Amino acid sequence: MTTTIYKTSKFLLLDGTYIEATPLKIKYLKELMEIFDKRVNNTKTDAEFLDVIIECVVVCMKQYCPQIKTREELEDVIDVATMYEILDIAAGIKFDTTEEDQAKKKENAKGWDDLDLAKLESEVFLLGIWKDYEELETSLSMPELTATLSAKREDDYNHKKFLAAMQGVDLDKESGKQNAWEEMKARVFSGGKASSANDVVALQGANAQKAGFGIGMGLSYERID
């Protein structure tokens, strides 16, 4: 089964136009979050809250449908329910009403405030692909930045691991880092419950039988006539 970095969704506007919504590029996400964070908690009426939503979706249109430039143009082609769906995909902003969902929203908002985006961008910028940070922010969304950063760190680690091996040092053993393949097998054998290959719940069935112990060893017998 293949994995995806982020989800996308297509929407049919009221004028018959299709748009494809994806996570916003960092440039537009920063603009949207600045509007949302500053204004949404100060809204006192449904009308004020809707004003914030519309303004945020107008920012989304800069990426999805640049010909829609004003809130008037937006209101002519999109209903409120679609706006909510777009903001979910664009910035991960959900509009749920349960206390648990509200708590999650507050936690996510705090995470955005605490995020050292400049540091993350600086690390990825060292790849030398973009001429400046403006180009980087218009090229990558947050999921893309995260995936790129993860791949870069993994590549850096593998390079250090190779150099360490040349000196007779097992960097995985020294650092406690596990083999990615072993971690994946552990998750498969445990039905996704194991956090690592050393987790006891990974030792089930055939995996346990191979190890010689564990949960649900799956012992078999051989009939001798």
pLDDT average per 10 residues of sequence, the chain (225 residues)? 79 93 95 90 89 95 96 94 94 71 51 77 93 95 92 88 83 65 56 50 48 43 43
For position 189, what pLDDT does the model report? 52
Alpha-carbon 217 to chain mean position: 36
Cβ–Cβ < 8 Å for 154, 183 = no
For position 100, what pLDDT does the model report? 58
C-alpha to C-alpha distances, 100 to 20, 53, 94, nearest whole angstrom: 30, 22, 12
pTM to 2 decimal places: 0.68
C-alpha to C-alpha distances, 150 to 19, 42, 124, 145, nearest whole angstrom: 30, 37, 10, 8
For position 6, what pLDDT does the model report? 84
